[in-house]
Amino acid sequence: MLLAIDAGNTNIVFGIYKEGEWIHEWRFNTVPVKNQIEYEMFLRLNFLEANLKLEEVDGIVISSVVPQLNDILSEFSKPLIKREPLFVGPKIYEYLPVRTKRPYQIGTDLIANAVAGHVLYKQDIVIVDFGTALTFTIVGADGLIQGVNIAPGLKTAIKALVGNTAQLPEVPLELPDSVLGTDTIHAIQSGVLWGYVSMVEGMLDKIHAELGKKTKVVATGGLSSILHPLHQRFDEVKRHLTLDGLRLIHQIVNKDAQV
């Protein structure tokens, strides 16, 4: 059984992989950063509720894009599981089937996405990840990460809009039927959500035009389901793609691991 931890700017995702599937996924708010004991209690409680035993965990793999969490996440699990966690970072990139020209300038979550996309699909691919940031990771069939695009995510955009204006209310992330806003909430939803639909479509068109060919397009991230008109532009929506990347990284680096 594998414990994969994906620490992003909004949530820390704890995933449990067993017998060929992700059997549990738990989310913990990233901010405010907690101490080691709080993460330990969170994990213990969820293991207890899921009727799982910590001693069943055969491996731990961690990705973090939040530097102040790195030491805490690396250390809190050791006394619980008695195993050294694999921390994704430039020191292990030489073992992976993907390559990047700037290993210290790319998020470990994007590396995990790239590994999953390359290993699972074995062809040119664009991975669109809807998270705190909206990212496009372009990976060639040879495993070279050809480029990355980063834009503010949906929630980030709406929070910035509401936080920097005096009279605009916070709105739910629901795609309206019409692009013509008929009230303030509808206007924000239309502008941001339909705007993001157009941005993703336009970015994919520009990426494919620059590459000179079409690629497979896979979407992931918790917000990928909201912009449903985009699903016709995606070959697949794979919710656990980042976790799958962490799982594959763990298996590649620990060649004898059976989880």
For the annotated catalytic residues, the residue numbers are: 109
Sequence-separated (6 or more) residues with CB below 8 Å from residue 146: 138, 139, 140, 211
Look-up of token digits 């330990």: 40
Whether residue 119 contacts residue 97, with contact meaning beta carbons closer than 8 Å, is answered with yes
Residue 70 amino acid letter: N
C-alpha span between 238 and 221 (Å, rounded):
8
User: What's the DSSP call for residue 191?
Assistant: I
| Dist. CA 134–CA 150, nearest whole Å | 6
Report d(CA 87, CA 93) in Å as an integer. 11
What value, to the nearest 5°, has the Cα angle with vertex 99 and ends 93 and 104? 60
Q: How far apart are CA 182 and CA 90, in angstroms?
A: 50
How far apart are alpha carbons 140 and 210 in whole angstroms?
13
CB 32 within 8 A of CB 38: no
DSSP state of 234: -
The answer to whether 26 touches 83, Cβ cutoff 8 Å, is: no
